[in-house]
Amino acid sequence: MSEYIPSPSQWVADQVELYEGSNGTDGLTLRDSGLPVIVVTNRGHKTGAIRKTPLMKVADGPSYVLVASQGGAPSHPKWYHNLKADPNVEIRDATDVFPMRVREVIEPAERGRLWDLAVAAYPPYQEYQEKTDRVIPVFIAEARN
Ligand code: F42
């Protein structure tokens, strides 16, 4: 069984601790924004470690849209590379945990529809995209049985 390595970003690790430690009954929003957050459990593609990545909740029916924004930083977040290497993740949405499979959405029409959903759920995504030349990757996480 691989070990869980917390994020070196303290506020992120703290949110995961609160969210998971409360079985999804506390720590469910982005600070005091009131906006819902999910936790994506993914596999470190270099260490093989368990990584837990909180992301804004963007629902597309039973699926989730995962936006590798990292605040509009010039490079993709590390978890992007994990998902590309191993698309099998678990998504915790409050008290529910779903085994899901992710795929990066490249096709322009599908990506546009999902991007609009994401910006509607969390408007800063648009500002992040405007402040970087990097095309912010969008994944869709779909149920896997
Ligand atoms: N980030 C987003 O990109 N989008 C969001 O919508 C979002 C929402 C959000 C809400 C609440 C919250 O608490 C955090 C939120 N974040 C959001 C931040 C997100 O959780 C991540 O912290 C952020 O995106 C940065 O992701 P990261 O994977 O780059 O994290 C860094 C800090 C990190 O964990 N680095 C580790 C380290 O030791 O430096 C390595 C992590 C890792 O996965 N390593 C891999 C391994 O094998 O273990 C190797 C990866 C590689 O290719 O090097």
**What is the Cα–Cα distance from 143 to 145, expressed in whole angstroms?**
7
Instruction: Report residue 92 as tokens.
Output: 């915790």
DSSP category for residue 104? E
Domains defined for the chain, CATH in brackets: 10-143 (2.30.110.10)
Taking only the tens of pLDDT, the chain with its 145 residues reads 689 999 999 999 999 999 999 999 999 999 989 999 999 999 999 999 999 999 999 999 999 999 999 999 999 999 999 999 999 999 999 999 999 999 999 999 999 999 999 999 999 999 999 999 999 999 999 999 7
Is 0.85 surpassed by the pTM of this model? yes
CA distance 10 to 145: 34
Residue nearest to atom 2 of ligand 1 (CA): 70
Q: Which amino acid is at 39?
A: V
3-state DSSP assignment of residue 137: coil
From the CA of 27, how far away is ligand 1's center (Å)?
Answer: 17
Q: Quick one: tokens of 145?
A: 């049985």
The residue whose C-alpha atom lies closest to atom 5 belonging to ligand 1 is 55
Work out which ligand 1 atom sits closest to the CA atom of 9: 32
